[in-house]
Amino acid sequence: MKVTTLFSTLSILAASTLANAFSLSDVKKGANSGSIVPGRYIVEFDSNAHLSSANLKRDANPHEYIYRQLEARDTPYTVHQEYSSDLFVGASISLGSDEDLSTLISITGVINLRPVHLLSLPAKSFDVTNTQWPTPAQAGSATNGTARAPTVAAPQVTTTTKCTGKGKKQTCTTQTITVTATASSTASAKPTTGFSPLSQIQVDQVQASGNKGKGVKIGVIDSGVDYRRVPLGGCFGAGCKIAGGYDFVGDNFTGSNDPVPDDDPYDDCYGHGTIVAGAIGADDNEYNVPGAAPEATQYAYRVFSCSGATTDDIAFQAMQRAYNDNMDIINLSFGEATGWTESMLSVLAARLVASGTVVVASAGNRGQVGAFFTSAPAAAKGVISVGSSDNSIYPAHLATVSTGHAPITYFNFQAFRTGTHALYAYTTDPAVPDDGCVTPAGAPDLSPYILVVRRGGCSLSQKAKNAYLQGAAGILVVNTPNTAPTYQTFPLIDFAMVGYEDGNYLISQANTPTTASNTTLTFSFNPTAFPNVWTGNSTSYFSQIGPSNDLNLSPTVLAPGSNIIGIYPSALGNFTFVQGTSFSAPYVAGAAALYLSAKGVNNVSPKDVLTALENTAEPLAVSPSDSSLETIAAQGGGRLNIAEAINPGAIISPSEILLNDSAYFASVQYLTIKNPSWWSWTTFKLKNVPAGTALAYQTGLNQSNDEPIPQVPNAASVKFSQSSVWLWPGGTTVVIMQFTAPTGLDPKTFPIYSGYIQVTGGSTTTQVPYLGVAAKMKDMPVLDPTPYYLGMNTPTILDASGKVQTGTASYTFSGSDYPTVLYRLVGGTPLLLIDLIDAAANLTFTPNYNSRKRSVAEVNVEVEKRSSLEARRSKSTGDQTRSSSNGKSAALLSLWCQLTNWRGQGCAASGGAGGNGGNTFAKVPIIGNVYQAAYIPRNTDNADGAGTDYSQFELSAATFANGTAIPNGTYKFLMRTLHITGDRTNEADYEAWVSAPFTVAK
């Protein structure tokens, strides 16, 4: 069978595509475009499994024990990665069939298991790749089909020392590597005005004090690094900025072939990791974009190949290696949209934090699709999840006009090639709708000219291509009024936008078919930081929005992630222009290094770092024109302020307040406030500062709202046991707070209310973000109750031709002749099950899902309340929760019971996964399970162009999930999806759908 969930891995660079209309023809039969690697699992072992007294043979380690048990059962398997540390013991294993999965789960000592997922980085950013344009017709073309090439310096010889092991048990070898240190650009000096965003997070202040992160080790798990670049030290090994690392994949890994690892994490084919390394710690350079901690030591762990592909079991291995190499900080600028804190990467990230390692992760770039859509591992507990704030500047350059007019600002991070050129315009008429989209008849050879055209009528690429084919030395596109510029780079021709007023002036001074002009523009390396008056200092539209479905906060802080100039591999052009939380995260990782360097790496915990960053972050407004505060779901504590984090006005814990939903409302909260001063008594005053209440779902539609999510002023109120406290130097006190949720809100919109508890009186203002949901998360619909997006009622069965099945269809399971279940999730679910039942089965419950007429209230079955949402979380999570009967995690036991039709050990006990404790879940007369998945995010409306707008399950083989054959006969699909906070042992907590009948006729 094939499963296509279409939950592809997150795009690191944001897309700007509007929601795509759905068409049934988009559902491709047999196209498994989901992120799951078939038959491959990350499996956790009990570290003491091999010590069991039941063993007749004592194995050397738990790995040998598990493998021997598989071999004893004649189960074929392939081991891809092994994990052996105090954080995690287990392996990445491929199995031959679903039946083998049942065998693996049955082994004592297997305690948790998750499918391996494909991960991918986005397409490479701007580089010098040839654009496959034909050669210009004009012989005098300025570019003549040649892309600009990076400047390369002479080779240098570097000696590197590599050590393995820890402490006195290290073994070291010395190796000499010859590298080529590449120049940054042809500019002879650094600009007086550069493009660095560091001042926006106060890193410049900390660096000016002499703190540049010295003594801190940062592990960068990414696509490798071009350590030959001068800003990154120009060398690799002991004594270099990039002091070590490992390549886990090689250049040609696709996610489905075998990786080719080696000791050298060098990358000159992708560049993502080089940008990240530069944001963390580049030295100052021609574009004035140094990293946050240029004196920190970096280790590069390459897990993404030249195609930008990897699997999470390889990333898992790199995280363990970084831990073994004693990294103080680990940066993870990748992830996968899950909506939950649960994933194997999240589990390991949380364990890394618990072990004392600071973990920084990008929150993700799918903010366009709305709230409750967090990414893993960023949403893991204790991880610093970094969202993006819009840069306060637009990188640009200045060109000199021969008329004496003020310099012209043109928007490209690269300067045009040095030189002086006349101007040419096809028309001076601003009403021409497609200026530059078609080359006018009789147009001259433009090799002496910079072509100036207006925006609109066709793509920027088409305008640039036409100018290139006409031989132009460059092209300037006049932007529309009051519109932010768009950045494009074409390797065969210089391209940039200019503002509306400047553009009009240039056109008025240009040569045209009927006029002549002597006006020229002179270009040189002359960067300028243009103020971002459109979106500067607000949350980026692409930055992922939380909270998680289990109401954990993500992101926790912001850092600039748009309009970023990054260090790039020499082979790809030396510098590039990017946006994404991938590049916000390393600024925070570098800032965390400054914090550790200031406080001492052995004196603070990851919790201390997170607390300091959240307490002192700067809350951001919705936009430059709207001063109300952005929801905490989008910005966490706000934009990083590292100078104040190192020297806060107060130290407050916890760093964030999670109020849960209305069913498990945690109204009473406690704050511990410490006076960090050791010489002055201080009076601290507390105040509730509400942020916007975000309406996550559309009224009456049960569909999530896209970005920008509507915000309303309805706010929570807070009563303090003390609104003012007087603390002695170093003193601490506790303040009790009573929260009241906002009123006047429609719970069907799942309002996310939020704000800050602001503490003033110290040297600086500090605050703690809070967040809650004014609705019951268990009321959130899971299966799409409307035809609003798909245009049809779902779930439904698609037949062999891809059309909606009518009547009772018969399937032979030959070729593509099999049924497909098409469905869409409007809410996340901890558990999704698809079982087969007899077509004439008498169910023990009434399915509560009718896609033609349905409201949320119809599926709102109340069950016994728990004391808090945390109690419900512990029941549904699988990290450390063990069943008393056989030591397996709750999630794994659930899978085991499904595969054995509730006959496995532990499935029949009251309160076990089978749940015979008074409910009907285990009594449903299923014939067998064909699919199940845990912790699934909702589908989207594809507002970000990344897909994930529907899901499908293909019963492509007539077998159950445990590998046994499905007998010929007539069946129905029974799909059940567990509500958020639902009890997986209680049938009433599921949404259930029963399909039309179909016949298996092999």
How far is the C-alpha of 423 from the C-alpha of 510, rounded, in Å? 5
- Rounded Cα distance between 749 and 805, Å, is 34
Task: State how far the Cα of 301 lies from the Cα of 634, in Å rounded to an integer.
Answer: 30
Helix (H, G, I), strand (E, B) or coil at 423: strand
Q: Which amino acid is at 811?
A: Y
Contact between 156 and 179 (Cβ < 8 Å): yes
The bridge status of strand 926-936 relative to strand 520-523 is: unpaired
- DSSP calls for 672-720: EEE---SS--EEEEEEEEE--EEE-B-TTT--BPPSSPPEE----EEEE
Closest CA to 553 of 637, 661, 664: 637
Separation between Cα atoms, residue 314 and residue 311, nearest integer Å: 6
Cα separation, 28 vs 646, in Å, equals 54
Say which residues have a Cβ less than 8 Å from residue 420's Cβ, sequence separation at least 6: 402, 520, 521, 522, 523
d(C-alpha 382, C-alpha 358), whole Å: 9
The three state secondary structure string of 749-796 is: HCEEEEEEEEEECCCCCEEEEEEEECCCHHHCCCECCCCCCCCCCCCE
Token pair belonging to 210: 């002499």
Contact 624, 518 (CB under 8 A): no
Answer for the pair 184, 279: CB distance below 8 angstroms, yes or no.
no
Size (the chain), residues: 1002
In this structure, which amino acid lies at residue 495?
Answer: F
Bond preceding residue 155 cis, omega within 30 of 0: no
Q: How far apart are CA 831 and CA 936, in angstroms?
A: 7
Active site residues: 222, 272, 582
3-state secondary structure of 363: coil
How far apart CA 752 and CA 371 sit, in angstroms, is 9
Query: Taking Cα atoms as reference points, which of 109, 108, 107, 77 lies closest to residue 93?
Result: 77
Question: Tokens in use for 750?
Answer: 């799942």
Q: What is the DSSP string of 600-641?
A: -TTT--HHHHHHHHHHH-B--EEETTEEEEPPHHHHTT-B--
The amino acid at residue 848 is N
Quote the CA–CA distance of 808 and 972 in Å, as a whole number: 10
Q: Alpha-carbon torsion 649, 652, 655, 660, what sign?
A: negative
Residues 220/331, Cβ–Cβ less than 8 Å = yes
Residue 84 CA from chain centroid, whole number: 27
- Give bridge partners of residue 520 from the DSSP assignment: 422
CB contact at 8 A, 964 and 39 = no
Q: Quick check: helix, strand or coil at residue 820?
A: strand
Q: SS3 for 897-947, per residue?
A: HHHCCCCCCCCCCCCCCCCCCCCCHHHCCEEEEEEEEEEECCCCCCCCCCC
Beginning with the edge strand found earlier in the chain, give each strand of the sheet holding 110-120 in spatial order.
Answer: 77-84, 89-95, 36-45, 110-120, 309-311
∠ CA 862-867-870, nearest 5°, is 100
